[in-house]
Amino acid sequence: MKQKLEPIDAWRWRIPRHGGMQVDGLIYSSRAMMRELEEDPCLDQVANVAHLPGILRASLAMPDIHWGYGFPIGGVAAMDAEAGVVSPGGVGYDINCGVRLVRSSVAAQEFSPHLEAVVQRLFATIPTGVGAGRRDLRLGQKELEKVLEKGAAWAVEEGMGWQRDLEHLEEGGRLPGADPERVSAKAYERGRAQLGTLGSGNHFAEIQYVSEIFDPEAARAFGLFAGQVVVMVHSGSRGLGHQVCTDHLKVMVKAAQRYGIQLPDRQLCCAPISSAEGRSYLAAMAAAANYAFANRQVMTHWVRESFSRVLGRPAEELGLDVVYDVCHNIAKFETFELEGKKVRACVHRKGATRAYPPGHPETPAAYRQVGQPVLIPGDMGRYSYVLKGTEQAYRESFGSCCHGAGRRLSRHQAKRDARGRSLLAELKAKGVVVMAAGMATVAEEMPEAYKDVAEVVEVVARAGLAGKVAQLRPIGVVKG
C-alpha cells in the first residue's frame, strides 16, 4: 500500500501512526529523493517495523533506504531492553558488515607510481569472491572459538595488528555477550577459512585520497589532510554470519507464534529480548559480529603488508594507522535519554552507522572533542565521506546516521545496463584502477547502480545527524 507521508521539514518525513503501528515512521530525505521513494515498498517496511512490541520513539529510515529482508536497509529501530523484541531481520544476513578506514602519511602524488602494483598486491593477498578463503589461515574449532569471543583482539594477539588499533574500533572490536556455543556447526564450517577475506557483492578494499576537507579541526583529530592516501575496507562476517542469521530466523518464526506476537510481515519474526530465543540470538549475533571485527583486522594486516612490500618501507613509517571501524548491521544495547529518563535500548541498525557526539564516553579519547568518526562509502567511480557524530543524532536518531549511498538499481538491472560497456576501461579513464574476482560483480556494482552519496550525506548533514569532515576519492579498488 502507498503510505501517507507528511513533511516535517525539508529533511524529515513522517508516516503517521495507523493500524497496528506502535509509533510513527520517520524518514530522512530531501524532497527530490522522496519523489523517487514515495512509491517504493521500502516505506511499507518502515511502517511494518513500527508494529514491533517495545519499539521506542519511531521507526527510522536514513536517506540511503532501500528494500531489505523484513526491515528496510537504512533502517533503525530501538527496542526497550525490558519490554521489546529482537529481530534478526533488523540486523540482516551479513552480521556486522562494516567499514574500516586506514590513513597513511603518504601523499597521492608520491603514491601514484606505485598504485597499480599496490592494487595487484592487495588483489593477490586478500581473497575475494563467493566462498573465497586463505589456505594459510584455516582455523580449527578451538581457535575459531577464540575469534568469536575476542574479535579484533584475537588478530592483534596473533601479530596481525597493533594494540592501539583496538582503541579506534567501535566497541573496541569486541561485542560483549558473545557465546560461541550458540553458533552452529555449519556456521563454524562456513567461517573456518574465510577470515581475512572480502567476499563478494558490495564489499571492497579501496585506495582513496582525501580530495576535500570540510572541517579542519575534526580532520586534524582524525589524522586526515588534503591529498593524503587512505584505504577503506568494507566487509562483514562472511558465511559464518549468514548462517547464524539463517539458523535463528527459523527459530524466531516459531518464537513469534509462541509469544503471540502479531506481525504484518513474517520476515519481521522476532522474540522478546528477555526470552531464551532472544538471548540465544543475541549471543550468536555477538559472536558473528566479533568474527567480522577480526576479519577486518586481518585485512588491515594484509593492507599494511601490501603497502610495505611495494613501497619498501615499514608500515609504521608509512603511518598506516586505523582511523576508525564502524558496524553497519548490528543490534546493540545502548543508553539514551527519553522524556527525561535514562532508557536502555536494544538498537537495531541495518544499513545504518552509529554517530556518537563529542564528549560521549564511547567516542575514542582522541576524538572526544570533535565526535565519533562516521564512515560513509559511496561507489567506486565517485567519492566516499568521513563525517562526525553529533548531539542531535544522539537525541533524535539513537545516535545513528546513514551508512552509504544506497542502491538505485537491482543487481539484475545493473548487469543488464552494463551490457556492451567496458566498465574497467571507463573507470581507468577516471583514474580508478579496478581488479575484481569477476566482471559480473563489477557490473552489479557500477557507479550508476547507486544513489549519489553526496546527496545522501547532504541530507544527514542538513538534518543535523552528522557533520561533514572530508571527501575521499577512489584511485584503486579491489572488488569481490
Q: What amino acid is encoded at 200 in this protein?
A: S
Catalytic center residues: 403
Chain centre distance of CA 76: 13
Q: What's the burial of 472, exposed, middle or buried (CB within 10 Å: 0-12/13-18/19+)?
A: buried
**Is residue 262 packed enough to be buried (19+ CB in 10 Å), middle (13-18) or exposed (0-12)?**
exposed
Taking each continuous run of H as one helix and of E as one strand, the counts in the chain are 15, 19
Q: Is 259 buried (19+), middle (13-18) or exposed (0-12) by CB count in 10 A?
A: middle
Residue 243, SS3 per DSSP? helix
The dihedral sign for the CA sequence 468, 398, 267, 175: positive
Exposed / middle / buried, residue 8 (Cβ in 10 Å: 0-12, 13-18, 19+): middle
Q: Are 456 and 406 in contact (CB under 8 A)?
A: yes
CA dihedral over 214, 215, 218, 224, signed as positive or negative: positive
- Which cell numbers hold the place of 86? 529482537
Q: Is the Cβ–Cβ distance between 63 and 402 less than 8 Å?
A: yes
CA dist., res. 107 & res. 72, Å (int):
39
Neighbours of 176 (CB within 10 A): 11
Cα–Cα distance measured from residue 131 to residue 279, given in angstroms and rounded to the nearest whole number: 29
Cα separation, 28 vs 8, in Å, equals 10
For residues 25, 31, 33, 38, the Cα torsion angle rounded to the nearest 10 degrees is: 50
Going by C-alpha positions, the residue among 281, 298, 302, 305 that lies closest to residue 139 is 298
**CA angle, corner 90, sides to 89 and 93, nearest 5?**
50
Backbone angles phi, psi at 353, to 5 degrees: -120, 140
